[in-house]
Chains A and B, each alone.
Chain A
Amino acid sequence: MPDQHILRAFDRDLEEIQARIMKMGGLVEAAILESARALRQRDPALAEEVRRADKAIDRLEEEINEEAARLLALRQPAASDLRTVLTVIRIAGDLERMGDYAKNLAKRTVVLIEMPRVEGAAGAIRRMAKEVEQMLKDALDAYMRRDAALAEDVRQRDLEVDQMYTALFREFLTFMMEDPRRITPCMHLHFIAKNIERMGDHVTNIAEQVIYLVTGEMPDEARPKATDIAPPSAGGA
């Protein structure tokens, strides 16, 4: 299919809105990595920067939604053009949520810095964040390249994030049972881990949007899930 519309302004509009999604995606990737780094390095200034940067992400989402509404009204897109606009709106929503989770991570980091370290936790969270960030990068690449196979791969990889979360959950539970003074930091760390796990779900949504964009069909629900969060056998919790 030829890439160019007869009406070239339509091409410019579609390119513009997708460029904004990429920009937004880049900001969210950075927010994930930086917030995890702030936690690991116990760097309140960096955490504060992540919190401030979330405003730009929110603003981009608003701009994308406005631009999408304008495009729908003025260009009446059909077929793959319509799917482009629809997916842009949904992906912007997912990215905005991910930005919020990164911001929340930064917020909790500021609190955690005042407490004793929970050994191993920050490193594990950093690895988890890194994995989600890589998934997001691949999902956005898949979007730009209209690569449904890569998107499906991203979708499958969410299982690993879920497993990392489950492992961390059990570890925090053990820590808390061993030493009640660790309950507060472990609770914060648990929320962080849970939020990163949710980021993974949003990346999965984005990957599904890519599949819809390319094929016109939403993928079937059959996706590996790992939500076994039974407490460790020692506990009576």
Chain B
Amino acid sequence: MTFLVTALIIWLLAWRLNAFLAIQAQQKLMGFVVPALFGLTVLIIWELLVIGLAVPGVILPAPTAIVVAFSTNIHILWDDLVQTFFKGALAGYTIGCGSAFLTAIAIDRSTFLKRGLLPVGNFLAALPIVGTAPIFVMWFGFGWQSKAAVVVAMVYFPMLVNMVQGLSASEAMQRDLMKTYGASYWQTMAKLKLPAAMPFAFNGLKICTTLSLIGAIVAEFFGSPILGMGFRISTEVGRLALDVVWAEIIVAAAIGTMFYGLVTGCERGVTFWHPSIRGQSAP
């Protein structure tokens, strides 16, 4: 009972404190402190509620139990990460986004193909492609290759659609200017169309970071060697070792955020000229 009361008090205090902090003058600092405090409060209340209500570990493990599971299983988690992310997801991401990029450039000259590809690509990008996982597992075996193939299928169309749109993002006036310079097709491509397509390309790349992880993890539910994040999640769920599952989810969340952050960082470097980036970095 005392745990529950403590949880309630902490929640009210943190709420008041956040409400107070949110109206403070230092915007930049508060933009970091307030969400951190919110996250911390959630964790503390979670811990207290699990202890106070005596929630069994097979339903919801306490954050401390998850941290313990994380540190005791760190080698397993690392091996799973290598198998699922560095082998499966990253290989598929590179191949899928790379080939979509090249396809977009290849069909850029034909308005006819572009007009046909956009609706079809948009349609295919909205489909539950992750369902192709059993087929790819059948074709490429249980190893990481089948996971990479699923990821390729998942990221290809979102990337392609974004890239095709991006390549037509340059304005007629700008293209005319390139013509008056006597620029060849490939010069126009390199100096005008590709740079203009970069905001769209990065939009696609960012969407695909999450898709690639989802694809690699879900594909492992359909068959996998004895390691991998999706394999670990499904087997540990079966053994009701939910603290390990949560530890694995923390790893997935961390690597997903880092991957996304990395792509966003590249985006800032490449599309520094775009208004949405310029506006943010202005003092």
Partners in one complex: no
